[in-house]
Amino acid sequence: MAKTNPGRFFEDYNVGDVIKHAVPRTVSGGERALYHALYPARHALYSSDEFARGSGLPCAPLDDLAAFHIVFGKTVPDVSLNAVANLGYAEGRWLKPVYEGDTLRSESEVIGVKQNSNGKSGVVYVRTRGLNQDDDVVMEYVRWVMVRKGNLDAPAPDTVIPELNKVIAPEDLVVPAGLDFTSYDFTLAGEPHRWGDYEVGEVINHVDGVTVEEAEHMLATRLWQNTAKVHFDTTARPDGSRLIYGGHVISMARALSFNGLANAQMIVGLNGGAHANPCLSGTTIRAWSEVLDKAETAAPGVGAIRLRLVATSGGDAFQLKGSDGKYKPEVLLDLDYWALMPL
């Protein structure tokens, strides 16, 4: 009996399967420190226990994207170990902050499959939930990933493509219990711009750039216990390169967005996202954001802002797609999310 796990291939997935992923992970202050070392992350609510307490929380939570990476990383051995590429996200919601001492685990339900026309791979859709030690769901999201077939002669399954909401309604966003921005300290947060200062349609160039190094992206991916072969093994891709984990690009772009969106403190919704083009070591990531929508919340002093976050490697910075309707080659990430901001 084989003791090693080669990972699942496309033909191993069936709609309705529920996969409980190993291994649970208890979060410490080390995750926060490493996250802030790997990315230029400076949002005050995640950096300072005192600032978080002044905003009605018991202490600074783990960065929302760090919690996402931990939940995501658990799923890789069962969902995307043999992936060609992670393609997109939808219906993501952060339901409860993650604090030091919480233990996170993940489970996924297969909600769709579609074999590609080449017969060599297919797209698998999963809905993943991250749970803490009390079985509270801290976050959930849908993603779809292209996975290789292990047996090219395996019959194609019936195509099932789930219907997914393009946008999370503001009333379905969950504001953390106790969050209160009525005494928000804009000086300590780093910028004076509040919810009312942003207009729908406004585009913000975040100015700064960061060049990704080989060692750092592999360190980050190992931190989240993501074992996908394409991120580490140079023989896993035809060109001999290591593909940078898409979440690394998301976190880098989000951190760069601090310059212009320092008060977009908590991510609470992920409407959609696409890794438009692969990112490799040596790429300099830049970012810009577009304000797509705004909404008030029931929490005191708290507004919700919907943002499109785009990461690029240069070129015509504010053009997403060419005349053919396809993403331009310099576009790395197109992410649509909701964040909480002081009114």
In one-letter notation, the amino acid at residue 169 is: A
One-letter amino acid identity for 12?
D
Q: What is the mean pLDDT of residues 10-18?
A: 97
Tell me how far apart the alpha carbons of residues 30 and 35 are, in angstroms, rounded to a whole number.
Answer: 8
In a domain, residue 185? The reply is yes
What pLDDT digit, counting tens, does each position of 209-228 carry?
A: 999 999 999 999 999 999 98
Angle, in degrees to the nearest 10, between helices 64-79 and 246-256: 170
What is the band of 12 on the pLDDT scale with cuts at 50, 70, 90?
A: very high
What pLDDT does 259 receive? 97
Contact 295, 323 (CB under 8 A): no
Q: Which token pair is 310? A: 């785009």
pLDDT in tens, 53-88: 999 999 999 999 999 999 999 999 999 888 888 889
Query: What is the CB neighbour count within 10 angstroms for residue 157?
Result: 15
Distance CA 333, CA 298 (A): 31
CATH number for 304: 3.10.129.10
Q: Chain centroid to CA 191: how far? A: 24
Percent of the chain with pLDDT over 70: 99
Dihedral (C-alpha) 311, 317, 320, 322: value to the nearest 10 degrees?
Answer: -140
Domain assignment of residue 134, yes or no: yes
- On the question of pLDDT at 265 being above 80, the answer is yes
Residue 4 within any structural domain of the chain:
no
Any domain includes 2? no
Confidence grade of residue 317 (pLDDT, cut at 50, 70, 90) = low
pLDDT of residue 151: 95
Longest Cα–Cα distance in the chain: 63
Question: pTM for the full model?
Answer: 0.95
Domain of 120, in residue numbers: 17-342
Total residue count of the chain as it appears in this document: 343
pLDDT exceeds 90 at position 316: no
Average pLDDT, the chain: 95
Taking only the tens place, the pLDDT of each residue in 154-164 is: 999 999 999 99
Residue 10 lies in a domain: no
Name the nearest CA neighbour of 288 among 263, 261, 257.
257
pLDDT digits (tens, 9 = 90+) for 117-156: 999 999 999 999 999 999 999 999 999 999 999 999 999 9
As for how many domains the chain has, the answer is 1
Whether 115 is in a domain gets the answer yes
> 5 in a domain, yes or no?
no
The H or E element spanning position 189 is helix 186-189
Is residue 9 domain-resident? Answer: no
